[in-house]
């Protein structure tokens, strides 16, 4: 069923670790085998490369503590690090990065938007019909 959905999808996003993606056959090569043009994005605590790629992480340990953000936000006079004050602190920042906040890479939403703009012209009417763009006349 996943492959059937992937055939017509623009984007595939996962936060599963590499071994799970391989075992269940939904890593990038499996998904792109059914849809070569799909935008495949993966996000996890310690990334997809390196010695800790198979280590799961949680917001308070992976982002708040190991990144140093907790220490950086703690006033020196406290004598110890602040605990994470709000939930999903790193999850929110990670989500924005995957969505397209990083100028150095082509991420999910920004890549999908570029693809859409190169395929369709914007209609003058909100919610109006989308017309295929003429070659070289994408919006944006």
- Give the percent of the chain with pLDDT over 70: 70
Tell me whether residue 40 is in a domain: yes
pLDDT of the residue at 27: 94
The two tokens of residue 47 are: 């990334």
**pLDDT averaged over the chain?**
75
Q: Does residue 91 carry a catalytic annotation?
A: yes
Tell me whether residue 128 is in a domain: no
Q: Which of 10, 27, 59, 91 is catalytic?
A: 91
Angle, CA of 2, 29 and 120, to the nearest 5°:
70
The residue segments making up the domain with residue 44 are 1-55
Tell me whether residue 113 is in a domain: no
Tell me whether residue 9 is in a domain: yes
Angle, CA of 18, 22 and 24, to the nearest 5°:
120
Tell me whether residue 76 is in a domain: no
Mean pLDDT of 81-108: 71
Q: Name 12's bridge partners.
A: 40
Tell me whether residue 31 is in a domain: yes
Model confidence pLDDT, tens digit, residues 18-35: 999 999 999 999 999 999
Tell me whether residue 83 is in a domain: no
Tell me whether residue 84 is in a domain: no
Mean pLDDT of 105-115: 63
pLDDT of the residue at 5: 94
Total of domains in the chain = 1
pLDDT of the residue at 131: 41
What pLDDT band is residue 136 in, cutting at 50, 70 and 90?
A: very low
Mean pLDDT of 75-94: 83
Q: Which of 96, 121, 122, 120 is nearest to 109 (CA)?
A: 96
Q: Compute the Cα dihedral for 64, 66, 48, 17 and give only its sign.
A: negative
Question: Is 0.75 topped by the overall pTM?
Answer: no
């Amino acid at each position: 069923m996943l492959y059937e959905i992937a055939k017509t999808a623009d984007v595939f996003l996962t936060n599963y670790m590499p071994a799970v993606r391989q075992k269940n056959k939904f890593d990038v090569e499996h998904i792109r085998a059914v849809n070569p043009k799909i935008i495949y994005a993966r996000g996890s605590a310690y990334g997809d490369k390196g010695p800790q790629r198979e280590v799961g992480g949680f917001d308070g340990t992976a982002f708040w503590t190991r990144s140093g953000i907790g220490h950086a936000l703690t006033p020196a006079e406290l004598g110890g690090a602040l605990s994470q004050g709000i939930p999903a602190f790193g999850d929110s920042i990670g989500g924005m990065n995957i969505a397209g906040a990083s100028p150095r890479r082509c991420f999910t939403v920004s890549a999908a938007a570029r693809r859409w703009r190169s395929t369709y012209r914007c209609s003058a009417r909100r919610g109006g019909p989308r017309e295929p763009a003429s070659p070289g006349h994408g919006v944006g």
